[in-house]
Homo-oligomer: A and B are copies of this chain.
Amino acid sequence: MAGQEGTSTKPGHPRVGPRRQGDLFDAACPTRHLLDRVGSKWTVMVVLLLAEADEVRFSVLRRGMPGVSQKMLSQTLRHLEHDGLVVRRVDAVASPPAVYYALTPLGSTLVPTLAELKRWAEEHMGEVEASSAGAAALD
């Protein structure tokens, strides 16, 4: 990719030794679980909303994602935080305390791919719907 130095593609944690590379087609590899997490609609929405600002309050995220429950949004953010894709900051001085979320550098690497996935789904949704309607008519 443009802008990358000649030093292999290894970002971060340089002392960790040889970087582990996943293999989606290996049943024992955690890559497939990671894929299920990052490919979910709520993850896509959170990551793309966070990509638009330095940090975003929980309440603002929730308003930006119509249909998400507080519980589902909390859980999505917890998973993203656990995976090192998002950081959480509590402003305890605010009253009531405000909670902010931001993408980590690792989380930022996911933005172009998820933006493309969103674009694909939005662009082809009509064709998929037409196909489903045809299939239903034949059932």
List the interface of chain A (C-beta within 8 A of B).
1, 9, 11-14, 16, 19-27, 29-36, 38-41, 44-45, 64-67, 81-85, 106, 109-110, 113, 116-118, 120-135
CA A83 to CA B81, docked complex, whole Å: 33
Residues of B within 8 A of A124 (CB): 11, 34, 106, 109-110
CA A120 to CA B130, docked complex, whole Å: 31
Task: Say what secondary structure dominates the interface of chain A.
Answer: helix
Residues of B within 8 A of A19 (CB): 126-127
CB contact under 8 A between A135 and B81, given known A11-B127, A14-B130, A126-B16: yes
Say which residue of B20, B122, B132, B135 sits within 8 Å of A24 (CB atoms). B122
